[in-house]
């Protein structure tokens, strides 16, 4: 039987399905509401002020628990022509959040790289996004045939007509992507980090000074690794990317400026 809400006119009722709490917000003090029974879930009655504090605490906990920042970090690059394997921070450093990357269509996860075969989250991602193909690649002088040519090719600015999905199982590397203003953002990925670069985004890849990365490559259907070096703005994948992310962002800024 559903509980009867308190008679306080300022009460707000929030229900969470799936076996989670049913919480009542009222002007009374924060305490268990023994007067209200729910067959599955506890009920709490709290003042709006205290609920606000609780919500803030929950948000902070969620941010702290988001371990992606431990394995994926991004920043704007300087214009130096020094060794491409160096970090190339600007001075002062200018970091880019994972939310900002998402605005460019770049998605990210932190997964269990030491237990790939039993990782339920990885299996769910593959199922939800249709990643039926998988292989592994190790990029280092000792393991990658034609290493010098491949590294040079990876660092040429290019796009693909499909997503590029890379899950770092060991080592580390840099994925550079262009922002809406055509500036380079360097995305550093370590063991446990997985990123998805959307079809049509201009990007490039290089190892860092550790000179090693082991990555899982995922793909929808049979893999097509064809790179289209810039410029290839006429490709449908590029036009779709610009429309979905670049023009959309420009439109949002135009609305804000009014």
pLDDT tens digits, one per residue of 193-251? 999 999 999 999 999 999 999 999 999 999 998 999 999 999 999 999 999 999 876 55
Check pLDDT > 90 for residue 44: no
C-alpha pair distances (Å), 49 with each of 27, 30, 52, 54? 9, 10, 5, 9
Above 90 in pLDDT, residue 41?
A: no
Fold of 68-257: Jelly Rolls (2.60.120)
Residue 158 annotated as binding site: yes
Is a pLDDT exceeding 70 seen at residue 11? no
CA 25 centroid distance within chain: 33
Query: 103 by DSSP, 3-state: which?
Result: helix
Alpha carbons 73 and 2: distance in angstroms, whole number: 46
Closest CA to 7 of 30, 24, 29, 31: 24
Provide the 8-state DSSP code for 116: G
Query: Is residue 203 annotated as involved in ligand binding?
Result: yes
253 is in an annotated binding site: no
pLDDT tens per residue, range 140-155: 999 999 999 999 999 9
Question: Is 164 labeled as ligand-binding?
Answer: yes
Query: What are the phi and psi torsion angles at 228 (to 5°)?
Result: -115, 105
d(CA 37, CA 136): 53
Domain boundary assignment for the chain = 12-65, 68-257
pTM exceeds 0.85, yes or no: no
Residue 126: CB atoms within 10 A of its CB come to 17
How far, CA to CA in Å, does 161 sit from each of 67, 106, 180, 226?
Answer: 30, 15, 19, 8
Q: pLDDT digits over 60-91, tens only?
A: 666 556 789 999 999 999 999 999 999 999 99
143's CB contacts (< 8 A; 6+ apart) are none
């Amino acid at each position: 039987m559903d509980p009867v809400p308190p008679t306080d006119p300022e009460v707000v009722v929030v229900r969470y399905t799936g076996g989670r709490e049913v919480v009542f917000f009222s002007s009374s003090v924060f305490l268990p509401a023994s007067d209200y029974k729910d067959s599955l879930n506890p009920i709490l009655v709290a003042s709006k002020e205290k609920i606000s504090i609780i919500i803030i605490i929950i948000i902070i906990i969620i941010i702290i628990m988001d371990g992606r920042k431990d394995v994926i970090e991004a920043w704007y690059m300087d214009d130096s022509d020094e060794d491409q394997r160096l970090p190339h921070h600007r001075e002062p450093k200018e970091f880019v959040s994972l939310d900002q990357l998402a605005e460019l269509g770049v998605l990210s996860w932190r997964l269990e790289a030491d237990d790939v075969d039993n990782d339920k989250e990885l299996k769910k991602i593959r199922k939800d996004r249709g990643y039926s193909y998988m292989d592994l690649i190790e990029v280092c002088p000792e393991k990658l045939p034609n290493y010098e040519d491949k590294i040079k090719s990876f660092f040429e600015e290019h796009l693909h007509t499909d997503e590029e999905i890379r899950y770092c199982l060991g080592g580390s590397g840099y994925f550079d992507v262009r922002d809406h203003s055509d500036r380079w953002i360097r995305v550093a990925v370590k063991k446990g980090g997985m990123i998805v670069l959307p079809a049509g985004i201009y990007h490039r890849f290089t190892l860092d000074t550790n000179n090693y990365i082991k990555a899982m490559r995922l793909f929808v259907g049979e893999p097509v690794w064809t790179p289209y070096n810039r410029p290839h703005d006429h490709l449908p994948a590029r036009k779709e990317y610009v429309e979905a992310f670049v023009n959309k962002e420009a439109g949002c800024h135009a609305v804000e400026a009014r």
